[in-house]
Structure 1
């Protein structure tokens, strides 16, 4: 090869190498593809370590973009972690205090994790943007902390299927935006707080399968319930104030308590679909208004009802088991009057 050819070849090789050397601008472009905020990254790594580095969080790999990790979501505008959703995981331990270091969270979920124990860390009160908290189907225990009332943006709070005990914090009624409250399937005792009459908006309230006792507070007469489920407790007295002719109630479940009131006197909302007052001491007759309802479930068995079962609508779609063991009910689907 002559000198001229060697020079040309050297020039071409140099040009080729320069093509593959990243410029400062291309380095900046590469860096901007990592969306994860370093504070969020550090908090998530601390959460993973506190939970014992479980396999469920295997995608949480050091020095990678946490916005791409499983169980988390990044806000597209701020690039901050706004959702932590850990579901059906084989995890043993407690909810790490480091969750309080994710200040942009609006959704926090630990669900179907049977080896998750302990209680709710107080650092959750740092998360002022939370609108949904679902800590359910775990083995969390102890009293429900009253500091949850500091999460004033909460719309949905689900603490069901746990081992929470003690009384219901009256402060929960001060949550101004709450529309769904699940406290069912725990070991809660005491009475339903009188303060629950202070809910300002329509609400779905689930308190079933606990050991609540006493009477329904009269203050609840002012509340517009979409769902009121207090079944399988030890409640007694008058529950008639939960029925409102112009209310939003789609579900009323008072079953398996010791309620005693005259069913003939209640006014039933037209959109009621699920109606269970079974296993109480309720007397009187069944209101004729139930024939105009789009009932999906009906059970008035094991009470002290009398009179003819209203005929029409969807009422006769339900068999005798929905009506039997009453004092003197008659008519289809029971024996003729």
Structure 2
């Protein structure tokens, strides 16, 4: 039903567009796109979307530079999972030399490894392969993109370790490898990202070992390491002068003294530390974190009275329960 609607929209664009009789698309780019269509084992309705008799710059999922008319975007993104794109990442994408945005999103029948021909796309700024059936390892060639700002490989079936060379990406602002089956440790080299550092999302994997202390040298706005098997200290991720907005370390094996943390009290909006082995008391400084919207320290080894002078009680009992000896509102009174 979704693709049928796309076909109707496409036909409307063909009839109404002033370019319907004037070809704007670069002929080599158009040839490459038609090769991509051949490589996909797709349904008949999808085959009708890219009509070779029309300008490819008005095709669905295609973005063209308004000045050069070169194809700069192949953005195959669906709001709901679609099984109409079947096969592997097409090798013909390498024939789109000016591609800046390549995206395959919500395509569970897109399978196989990440095609190494992608390494030829030297102008890439945004690479999104998310919610697909893609498997295999995170390829090390990804570190060669000099213009890449967003790398999103979330919600796939990727395995193996995280390449340490990803920290060599000079312009990266967001790194998403969450919701895969990655193993091993977080590379120590991640502390050498160009400062202030990208947003890092590694949650819902099988990562183990210690969080590298080198990450504490960065000023990360968002870091999500939840639902892994990480252990040891993580206190170096905190800092009152940092711009940290989101910090999620929940559901790991981490152990550190919460009362000694130097919290970012101006920017922090999301702090989840639940399901760890964190000990000590809840620091009074948390009352000064005025922007805090989400907070959870349940299922830890915390003790002492919950600070009563601020507004932590608004997070409810579920944010505090199942600790060693934590007490005070919203939990029962201290004895």
TM-score (norm 1): 0.89
- Tell me whether 1:279 sits opposite 2:275 in the alignment: yes
What secondary structure does 2:322 align onto? coil
The 5-angstrom pairing of residues 1-337 of structure 1 reads: 33-54=22-43, 55-88=45-78, 89=82, 90-200=84-194, 201-270=196-265, 271-293=267-289, 294-337=291-334
Between the aligned partners of 2:133 and 2:249, the Cα distance in structure 1 is: 26
2:11 matched residue in structure 1: none
**How far 1:122 sits from its partner (Å)?**
1.1
User: What is the Cα deviation at residue 313 of structure 1?
Assistant: 4.1
- Say which SS state the counterpart of residue 133 (structure 1) adopts: strand
1:56 to partner: Cα distance? 3.3
Residues of 1 paired with 2:307 and 2:52: CA distance?
67
Q: Which moved more, 1:217-226 or 1:180-189?
A: 217-226
Structure 1 residue 63 displacement after superposition = 2.8
Query: For 1:306-330, what per-residue CA distance to the aligned partner results, in whole angstroms no more than 9, with x for missing partners?
Result: 1111224441111111101111111
| CA apart distance, 1:202 | 3.2
SS of the residue corresponding to residue 140 of structure 1 reads strand
SS in 1 for 2:221: strand
2:19–2:55 Cα contact (<8 Å) kept = no
Q: Deviations over 1:79-127 (max 9, x none)?
A: 0011111122421111101111111111111000011100111111111
Structure 1: tracts of 5 or more residues without a match: 1-28
Q: Deviations over 1:253-289 (max 9, x none)?
A: 1111100111111111121111111010000111112
Residues 336 and 41 of structure 1: is their aligned pair in 2 closer, same or farther, counting only changes over 3 Å? Answer: same
**1:126–1:328 Cα change, 3 Å:** same
CA distance in 2, matches of 1:31, 1:109: 26
CA distance in 1, matches of 2:119, 2:28: 18
Aligned partners of 1:304 and 1:326 also within 8 Å: yes
Corresponding residue number in structure 1 for 2:7? none
Aligned counterparts of 2:332 and 2:277: Cα–Cα separation in 1: 22
Q: CA deviation at 1:64?
A: 1.7
Q: Distance in 2 between matches of 1:101 and 1:170?
A: 29
1-structure distance, mates of 2:324, 2:252: 18
Query: Which residue in 1 is equivalent to 2:4?
Result: none
Q: C-alpha displacement at 1:225, in angstroms?
A: 1.0
Q: Is the 8 A contact 1:202 1:248 kept in 2?
A: no
Report how far residue 57 of structure 1 moved.
Answer: 5.0
Where has structure 1 moved over 4 Å in runs of 4 or more? 29-32
- Looking at structure 2, the residues matched to 43 and 53 of structure 1 have their Cα atoms a distance apart, in angstroms, of 17
TM-score, with length taken from structure 2: 0.89
| 1:244 CA displacement | 1.4
Query: Partners of 1:72 and 1:246 in 2: how far apart?
Result: 43
Unaligned runs of 5+ in 2: 1-17
Deviation at 1:199, TM superposition (A): 1.0
Structure 1 residue 53 displacement after superposition: 4.3
C-alpha RMSD over aligned residues: 1.6
CA pair 210-31 structure 1, distance change in 2 beyond 3 A: closer
